[in-house]
Structure formats: C-alpha cells, structure tokens
Structure 1
Amino acid sequence: MFIGHFAVAFASKKVAPQVPLGTLVIAAAFLDAVWPVLVLLGVERFRIVPGFTAINPFDFVYYPWSHSLLMTVVWAVLFAIAYQTATGDRAGAMWVGLAVASLQCTKAKDRTGTIAWWAYIALLLILYIPGPWSPPPPSENAVAILGIVALAILGPWAYWIDRHRLSAS
C-alpha cells in the first residue's frame, strides 16, 4: 500500500532537493496518517472482512475526510501552505502539496485490489506474503493505532536517512 507513497517521496526529492526527505515522506503518506486518527475519533469507518481482497481484509466503508478527491486537494493545499509558511520555500511547497495530492494516483489501483530497493522489496514481501494465511487484525482500533505508530517511526527515520546519507559525488 505504501510503495507508491514512498516512490513519490523519493522522486520528489530528486526534483526538489531542498525539501527534507522526511517532509516528503510525511507529505506523501499524510492522508494515510490522518485516516487512523479519524477512525479512532469515530469520524471515518472501515471493517475487517477476511478475504475482502487478496492482500488485506479492509473494507473502507466511510472515509470522505481523509481520502475523497475534494478533501485530498484541500489537505494538499493546507500542507503546502503550512510548509511555505514554515520555510518560505514556494517551489518546495508546490512539491510537498503535490506529494500529498499524489494519494489519488497511488491509490487508484490499490482501492480494492517497484522501487528498485531490494531490501525494501524484501521487507514488503516478508510483510505481505503471509497475508492470505494470517488471521485478520483483532480490531479496527488496533489497525488505526499501528498506522499512527508506523508513520510516527517512518517520518523521523526518513529525516535521519536524509541527514546521514552519503553524497552521490
């Protein structure tokens, strides 16, 4: 599910090198970070239905505030404004906003239904292969909390990677 988000973040870093990678990762996954919070607040809903898709058992019943086309555009504009206000970087704000809006493209195929980084691909395979044979998650709240925790770890990790990577030259 997140492969497309991270691909957008890494591609955006190439065209907007002044924007921290962590910011781009958070922007690209922002709506998926907002979603579990809204689920826990009872604003949006999903059901766990074993066998609903081949990969995961989630039936997204109601999530107009985090994933509708209109709200995706609204969130993208707000995120871009916040970034520009914080940094003064207008060009970077455009790329950050586009990273948020990219959700509609990266999710288009994913709704019901490769980065050449072999370690990352191996990790995803390890996570996805047992999916059809694993029991469903215990509850919707457990999924939402896991989403919040995962993105809370991945965002800072991406910032750390950006600060500590070796130069290509």
Structure 2
Amino acid sequence: MRLNLVLELLDVPGKLVAVLEPIGALGANLVTIIHQREIKTERGLIPVQITIEGDPETLDLVMKKLDELGIRVIEVDGVLLKETIKTVLIGKIVDKDVKDTMDQINQLEGVRVADLALKMAEEPFDSSARITVEADFGKKDDVMERILNIGQKKDFLVISEV
C-alpha cells in the first residue's frame, strides 16, 4: 500500500532528516521525496512531497508518529486536509440575522461553518457568537477576510485567532 503525503516543514537544517528517520524506523519504505525550498506555503513553510509504502498498520503508525512530532500533513493522496478557524463575533448578532452571517461565510468554496455557539448578553452588546469554520487547506486568509468584511458591514466586533 502507498501513501502520497505533502508535509509542511520549517526551513531549518536537519528538519527533513528528523521527519524521515522515524518513517524508516517504523518500517515504511520511502519511495519518493520532493523537497523544493523555493516554494512556500501560506504559512511560509516548505511543502515536502513524500511517497511511502508499507502495510496498513505501518502506515497508520507513521501517520500517528508524524502527528506526535507536530508535523503538519496538509495533503493525503491528493486530498487537501481541512484547517479549523475559530473566531468570535460580538454585537447585535441575532438582530443582524445569524443565518445570513453563516450563509455568507459558507459561500466560499471549500469552506463551511462547523460549529456556532451563541451567547445572549445585556447591553452594550446583545450577543456574541463563537464560530468554528472548517476550510480546505490554504483558505484561511480568505475566510478571515470574509469574516472581517461581514463584521464591518454588520457592525460586529471581530476577535480572530492569531
């Protein structure tokens, strides 16, 4: 069985070797490695494409080990993984139509509001909403821009993750 992965790595000496060593140690075979330092992801990190092969159990162990090491896998077999974006809106959210706000966020391709928690409060603000958005990898800037634009139009205070 083969897995084609795209990893996101810091551009520091030894980082690639530190990722590849545990893969071999777990018994997976490295088939391909494409490491192009001049290409960067939106986070300024280097995407490294690797193809590994092994039995399903070994490949599961490799994926768990990458997660333990804090190595971000952004693509598996050509499928972009999702990013989670959390933000808080404060203002007259109920008065300004919660459904319309969520629909505007969901209009972005590859983006959906996964969770909404609404809290009613006293003046000066009537409510707040904690929103969790799932987006295809690389869409974070578009999502944040959309949420900020909605906030400006509806006079919400927008508290975004950093």
TM interval, shorter chain, is: under 0.3
TM-score norm. by structure 1 comes to: 0.23
Higher relative contact order (CA 8 A, sep 6+): 1
